[in-house]
Amino acid sequence: MSEKITITFPDGNKKEVDKGINGLELASQISKSLAKESIAIKINNDIKDISLPINSDASVAILKRDSEEALELIRHDCAHVMAEAVQELYPGTQVTIGPAIENGFYYDFARDEPFTVSDLPKIEKKMHDIIQRNKNFIREVWSKEESIKHFKDKGENYKVELINDLPDNEEISIYKQGDWLDLCRGPHMVSTKQIGKAFKLMKVAGAYWRGDSSNAMLTRIYGTAWATEKDLEQHLLQIEEAEKRDHRKLGREMNLFHFQEEAPGAVFWHPKGWTLFQSLINYMRNRQDKAGYVETNTPDMMDKSLWETSGHWDKFSDMMFRTEAKDDKIYAIKPMNCPGAVEIFKQGLKSYRDLPFLLSEFGKVHRYEPSGALHGLMRVRAFTQDDAHIFCTEDQITQESKTVCDLILSIYKDFGFDNVRIKFSDRPEKRVGEDSIWDKAEAALMQAMEATGLEYTLNPGEGAFYGPKLEFVLRDAIGRDWQCGTLQVDLNLPGRLGANYIGEDGNKKIPVMLHRALFGSLERFTGILIEHYAGHLPFWLSPLQAVVATITSDTDEYAYEVQKALVSEGIRTEIDTRNEKIGYKIREHSNSKVPAIIAVGKKEAQDKTVSVRRIGSSETKTFKLEDIVNSLSKEAKSPIEKK
RNA sequence: GCCGCAGUAACUCAGGGGUAGAGUAACUCAUUGGUAAUGAGUAAGCCGGCAGUUCGAAUCUGCCCUGUGGCACCA
């Protein structure tokens, strides 16, 4: 009699089966249809090939193609099929790695002539052919020597490198699909046909071998893959939706800003865009005033020596703009506001009684960002930080950090961002300061984090060169994440720049400096808001809040009266007396996303009323002039004024 | 910075070795209208820059600039 093991199913049922049974056999014991639909198995919560023998008691779930976990397999299998298609169509192309990723998969290839998008339809067609061949994925375990020889003979140098770097005790598995095979950890589904049809190759891109810019550049092909064609369709629609929200497009349509060749990565803010920008600054200034900050302003250019002292020159001089005048000095255009803040702190003798000392600055900084990184307002070379530096004692770190966290979250809420995640980044490889100082800074920040009771994730090695940091990541209306605010504990720069205060004991002490930014970059935050709201900014932020549109020229005079009434209450109002039909005016102002379109014709002029149409609605409501002025001026208040 | 793609009228885009094209916008005229496009007409361009090939280049080639999708970077 063969040995038995006990299988526990997700519903808690147990079953005694022969040792060595595999998932497929197990499934067919339950039902034929299940066996037919199974694609993999979850053994003790690890997803495995369904053909893998089960040799000990285990909890087991059989995965069908429509399960959530299947998606990753579909995508990974799809990557393999794409690699086969590419090697079939373009002999001599080397394969490297090809994982499943969010929404799809990619595969990196090494080929002298990179692929272009025009190659994609051909590859896609070949993939469909391969899938139709319905070959099983077959797993084999090879010895290191055997696998190295195989890939070396085939000229797959990258695979050889991968195998060489595998730890000696690791099993080397190979997956075959028909004649084609790939080094792969797995797992995979049963056969290529289970991939289905719901995939599409999306784009080609360059990518460094092993993500290291000193290595060769490979060609990456990205694809998206889904369980059903409906899901694929849905995904493509979502991409379209994101494109519609693109702040670069909306910024032009709404006449907010532009860029031009002479100033790469620097914004030309148009009047409407600048109005929005200023609304954000005013809001933030108000919140900071109430939180006990005092606002400062520091020089845009300072002698290079200051940046050498701070340590910025050593790490970032390549990315700093510099300028010189008739004297022989080299001035750096500030890439950060912190040294300036320290210089202000240093003026006059400070006592422990002055701490915490909260200095804010809407500082415009310049950084020579790599050309390939520039992206509309999201990544620019000249931007404004809502920066602040909190000088405090070590004992105050926890409380001050907690206060900053609360402030950030409260501010994000005012813009409709309720879903915020926090990342904790600790010491990077290249840094200044003793390890003992880092120990202290990290511990203090961690303690503050614990004190807030907020959830966070660890982000090892990603801290600033002078200290660990928290990063605040918010999720927008269509589920995209944006890193905005930051809080950094700095036990290094104040000392380097010679800041101190007189302690309780009468001795000089070096203060701790907390760097923090809430929106982060005002430019970037503006871009995020535009995309988050798809251009439909809330009334208080809308640079143009109302348009008075006339129906006939007979009522121009009354229209001006209406505009004047609104403007005198601070509502940003334009007037449209053009010789156009009202339908045309409605259409135009709707397209440019004006929140309130106020139509006036003979009827309104006679009754001293207005007809209001709000953006997003096709309803028209009639109000008395004074009533609309009152209600709009209430609506125009910022969240702070409303509180 | 690296790999790919793109740059033509204010905007969106077609064209492609031999008078530079469309739609929208602008301007002019007519029309004074009731909630997402009234009609007719006019004007508008160093076809990103510099070199080269050619009898001839917006078109082909090279270099550069800018943008763009990724990668790398992000104090």
Place A363 in a pLDDT band, splitting at 50, 70 and 90. very high
Amino acid at A244: K
Q: Give CA–CA dist A542/A595, Å, rounded.
A: 8
What average pLDDT score do residues A354-373 get?
97
What average pLDDT score do residues A153-171 get?
93
Complex prediction ipTM: 0.95
pLDDT in tens, A461-520: 999 999 999 999 999 999 999 999 999 999 999 999 999 999 999 999 999 999 999 999
Q: Give CA–CA dist A222/A236, Å, rounded.
A: 14
Whether residue A370 has a cis bond before it, omega within 30° of 0: no
Beta-sheet strand order (sheet of A382-392): A294-295, A357-366, A382-392, A512-521, A481-490, A469-475, A420-425, A457-459
**DSSP type of residue A393:** -
Nearby residues of A79 by Cβ (< 8 Å), 6 or more positions away: A98, A99, A100, A105, A106, A107, A223
pLDDT greater than 80 at residue A643: no
Active site residues of A: 338, 367, 385, 387, 389, 469, 515
Q: Give CA–CA dist A625/A558, Å, rounded.
A: 11
pLDDT in tens, A215-242: 999 999 999 999 999 999 999 999 999 9
pLDDT in tens, A552-562: 999 999 999 99
Residue nearest to nucleotide B30 (CA to C1'): A579
C-alpha R_g of chain A? 31
Amino acid at A261: E
Strands (DSSP E) along A115-194, which ranges? 137-142, 172-177, 180-183
Strands (DSSP E) along A402-541, which ranges? 420-425, 457-459, 469-475, 481-490, 501-502, 508-509, 512-521
Q: Scan residues 264-303 of chain A and list those with Cβ within 7 Å of strand B.
A: 264-265
| Strand B nucleotides in reach of protein CB atoms, 7 A cut-off | 1-5, 11-12, 30-38, 65-75
Q: Give CA–CA dist A175/A136, Å, rounded.
A: 10
Nucleotide closest in space to A602 (CA vs C1'): B34
CA A528 to C1' B47 (Å) is 35
pLDDT greater than 70 at residue A23: yes
- Is the shortest CB-to-strand distance from A461 to strand B under 7 Å? no
Nucleotide closest in space to A483 (CA vs C1'): B74
pLDDT greater than 70 at residue A1: no
pLDDT in tens, A605-642: 999 999 999 998 999 999 999 999 999 999 999 999 88
pLDDT greater than 60 at residue A24: yes
Q: What is the pLDDT of residue A286?
A: 97
CA A120 to C1' B52 (Å) is 34
pLDDT in tens, A94-105: 999 999 999 999
CA A204 to C1' B51 (Å) is 31
How many Å from the N-terminal Cα to the C-terminal Cα in chain A? 78
Q: Give CA–CA dist A113/A94, Å, rounded.
A: 12
Main-chain phi, psi angles of A35, to 5 degrees: -60, -40
Contact A99, A89 (CB under 8 A): no
- Is the shortest CB-to-strand distance from A477 to strand B under 7 Å? no
Q: Give CA–CA dist A280/A484, Å, rounded.
A: 14
Higher pLDDT, A169 or A193: A193
Which structure tokens are listed for A59? 């909890």
Which structure tokens are listed for A400? 């001050």
pLDDT in tens, A276-319: 999 999 999 999 999 999 999 999 999 999 999 999 999 999 99
CA A632 to C1' B31 (Å) is 35
What average pLDDT score do residues A197-202 get?
96
Q: Give CA–CA dist A514/A339, Å, rounded.
A: 13
